Amino acid sequence: MRLSKSIIGDKEKGIVQDVLKEEYLGMGHYVQKFENNLSLYLNNKVSVVNSGTAALHLALLAMGIGKGDEVLVPSLTYVASYQAISATGATPVSCEAILESGHIDLDDAKRKVGPNTKALMPVHYAGNPVDFESVQNFSNQHNVRIIEDAAHAFGSLHRNGKKVGEVGDVICFSFDGIKNITSGEGGAVVTSDKAIIQFVNDARLLGVHKDSDARYSGNRSWEFDVQDQGFRYHMSNIFAGIGLAQLERFELEFKSARQTLARQYFELLNATPNIECFAMDFDQVVPHIFPIKVLKNRDQLRVQLIEQGIEAGIHYFPNHRLSFYKKPNDVLPNTDALYDQLLTLPLHPEVTREDQLKIVEIINEFSRSFKLE
Ligand SMILES: *Cc1c(COP(=O)(O)O)cnc(C)c1O
């Protein structure tokens, strides 16, 4: 049983075939349509790129962040968040995790604000959005920009009922193969800030000024200007085709499937000894992963699951312990403690109720034998 997977059906295959038939594989009107449909769904401005990491990288550059600057980020995240920060020349400053949610600990972040702090990058861990108001207050109090790593949280709602991506400073999504929707590979920068969108639109096409508009209207100019360092980060029509199909299926299929599975896991496991679940509102959150905390002997349970054909993951190895990012002063005991307990169970729309019951039985049996020891 796979931990996570892409769900691809006739709709995706149909659109990709249309793209192939047109023999225009680059960035054209499928990308424009994907961008427009995302924009309608999120009720905000959108620029799509070829990965979530590229989205974070360009969003940071668009904010003017670079060498000498610091960005506050939770150590408990995918290394992509860190790589995007260091790619700009800025330094990621590792912050503690809250044990109950896996979110960035804003009190710890507050202690780490310094004269070079330019931004805070909260990660909506597992799909559960970091409290919007607290992040807004943090931004106002410390005069820093907010770049949300919303790679896990496509479709989730804030507590105020607004979609993740609908409100806030700059929000970045990933559409890689296993995220809540996929475009094969892909990502998006979402914001109401026109200057950011303009910067990203140019920077994704090697910095060629207004090339996005020219490609969408089929009038690429052979004479152009470049005003900034650019990157080859644009999306192809093939990927956008997959993304369009996934976005159409999201509300009715993927969203409810993920919510139902996560709700059931929670109900089945929350009373189990030695196991703790992360509490969240499964009517509002569209969970990307289902991590649990195994209070003791996590690795033993993981081996037992794998032996019975069930993939189990660990999200994530703390970034402050990676050779490239570790700093002598980093002491993050909560993140380290959480890391020792985390175990991610299979969660994707094709996990069945039977699959879940099997997983839960293995976990229950493990807890029972463990209690007898
Ligand atoms: C997937 C992911 C990313 C990066 O997205 P890619 O599309 O894989 O580049 C960034 N942050 C987090 C937390 C992720 O899970």
pLDDT tens readout for residues 271-294: 999 999 999 999 999 999 999 999
Residues with CB under 6 A from ligand 1: 51-53, 77-78, 80-81, 123, 149, 151-152, 174, 176, 187
pLDDT exceeds cutoff 80 at 184: yes
Place 372 in a pLDDT band, splitting at 50, 70 and 90.
low
Tokens encoding 196: 């950011």
**Average pLDDT over the chain, rounded to an integer:** 97
The total number of residues shown for the chain amounts to: 373
In terms of DSSP H, where are the helices of 102-225? 106-111, 132-142, 194-203, 211-216
pLDDT at 17: 98
Alpha-carbon gap, residue 236 to 241, rounded angstroms:
9
How far away, in angstroms, is 224 Cα from ligand 1 center?
32
Tokens encoding 147: 């770049």
pLDDT at 219: 85
Q: What is the pTM of this model?
A: 0.98
pLDDT at 288: 98
Residues 320, 174, 103, 65, CA torsion sign:
positive
pLDDT digits (tens, 9 = 90+) for 42-77: 999 999 999 999 999 999 999 999 999 999 999 999
How far away, in angstroms, is 170 Cα from ligand 1 center?
16
pLDDT exceeds cutoff 90 at 373: no
Mean pLDDT of 327-352: 97
How far away, in angstroms, is 271 Cα from ligand 1 center?
32
DSSP, collapsed to helix, strand or coil, labels residue 45 as strand
Tokens encoding 255: 């969203």
How many alpha carbons lie under 13 Å from residue 56 in its C-beta half-sphere? 30
How far away, in angstroms, is 52 Cα from ligand 1 center?
5
pLDDT at 368: 85
What letter does residue 205 receive in the DSSP assignment?
B
To test the pocket of ligand 1, the residue of 78, 180, 189, 314 to mutate (highest count of ligand atoms within 8 Å of its CB) is 78
How far away, in angstroms, is 79 Cα from ligand 1 center?
8
To test the pocket of ligand 1, the residue of 48, 123, 176 to mutate (highest count of ligand atoms within 8 Å of its CB) is 176
To test the pocket of ligand 1, the residue of 4, 51, 53 to mutate (highest count of ligand atoms within 8 Å of its CB) is 53
pLDDT digits (tens, 9 = 90+) for 286-334: 999 999 999 999 999 999 999 999 999 999 999 999 999 999 999 999 9
Closest Cα to atom 2, ligand 1: which residue?
151
pLDDT at 320: 98
Closest Cα to atom 7, ligand 1: which residue?
52
Nearest alpha-carbon partner for 261 in 286, 279, 284, 278? 286
What share of the chain in percent tops pLDDT 70? Answer: 99
Residue 206 burial (C-beta neighbours within 10 Å; 0-12, 13-18, 19+): middle
In terms of DSSP H, where are the helices of 183-291? 194-203, 211-216, 237-249, 255-269
Residues 326, 329, 332, 336, CA torsion sign:
positive
pLDDT at 221: 80
How far away, in angstroms, is 228 Cα from ligand 1 center?
25
Nearest alpha-carbon partner for 104 in 74, 149, 139? 74
pLDDT at 222: 85
Q: Which residue has the higher pLDDT, 210 or 86?
A: 86
Give the Å distances, CA to CA, from 105 to 56, 72, 95, 112, 315.
Answer: 21, 10, 7, 11, 17
pLDDT digits (tens, 9 = 90+) for 115-129: 999 999 999 999 999
β-partners of residue 147 are: 170
Alpha-carbon gap, residue 112 to 356, rounded angstroms:
41
pLDDT exceeds cutoff 80 at 356: yes
